[in-house]
Chains A and B, each alone.
Chain A
Amino acid sequence: KAGVTQTPRYLIKTRGQQVTLSCSPISGHRSVSWYQQTPGQGLQFLFEYFSETQRNKGNFPGRFSGRQFSNSRSEMNVSTLELGDSALYLCASMRQAGTDTQYFGPGTRLTVL
């Protein structure tokens, strides 16, 4: 079974631009979560989607948004990029909820210049 895939793997943007990252979960997984990883703040939860609905949201500004499609693929969008948005963005999928484990993708490394 294929793992979680994320595209693109690397991205360079400039301040003020917007960016969209994509995540395809493991087949059969309906929950997708997004995390931001930086050297200073560590791993922080952004949001979680299940069956196209956002169930949980972390403490990030409204510039960070996401969505999930009917095939469980998810996208996250960051508008008006700031230098501090430079990070590794990790996506994790889970079969449903409750007892399951989250499996991570390789991440998208975003650099904001």
Chain B
Amino acid sequence: AQTVTQSQPEMSVQEAETVTLSCTYDTSESDYYLFWYKQPPSRQMILVIRQEAYKQQNATENRFSVNFQKAAKSFSLKISDSQLGDAAMYFCAYRANFGNEKLTFGTGTRLTIIP
């Protein structure tokens, strides 16, 4: 069974600084998808970024980028120029490519932005 591990329950960063959230996963599949979702307090889950395992190039979305290390099964999220609106729970998630659309989530990292 696939597992996703986020070893940092909480992180904090000064506004305008850069922070990296860690995620590791375990799978025997070679083709899959990885996602970072953001869940602000009392608000809905929002997709931040996604990575296809077959792509070697790391995904980027504006201030958000990932460091995808397939051999190490590592998928970290870097947030540059942190803003107050980035404060949220961040969940790393895994999904197999075919046959099962279920997302397997990590336990989340609570990110606090310090003004």
Binding site for B on A (CB under 8 A): 31, 33, 35, 42-43, 45, 48, 50, 55-56, 58, 90, 92, 94, 97-99, 101-107
Contact = CB atoms under 8 A, between A and B. Distances in A.
Contacts of B108: 42
Contacts of A33: 101-103
Interface of B: 35, 37, 43-47, 50, 52, 91, 95, 97-98, 100-108
A52 to B, nearest CB: 15
Given A101-B35, A104-B45, A106-B44, 5 more contacts: A33-B102, A48-B102, A102-B101, A103-B47, A104-B46
A94 B101 contact: yes
B98 A98 contact: yes
Contacts, number: 49
Interface residues of B, dominant DSSP? loop
A29 B47 CA distance: 16
Nearest to A105: B44
B101 A104 contact: no
Contact of B101 (A48, A90, A106, A107): A48
- List the 4 closest A-B pairs by CB distance, nearest first: A104-B45, A43-B105, A106-B44, A45-B102
Given A42-B107, A42-B108, A98-B97, A104 B44 contact: yes
A17 to B, nearest CB: 25
B44, B50, B101, B103 — most chain A CB neighbours (10 Å):
B101
Nearest to B91: A43
B75 to A, nearest CB: 15
B50 A101 contact: yes
B103 A45 contact: yes
Contacts of A102: 47, 95, 101, 103
B44 A31 contact: no
A27 B104 CA distance: 25
A31 B106 CA distance: 22
A2 to B, nearest CB: 13
Given A98-B97, A101-B35, A58 B102 contact: yes
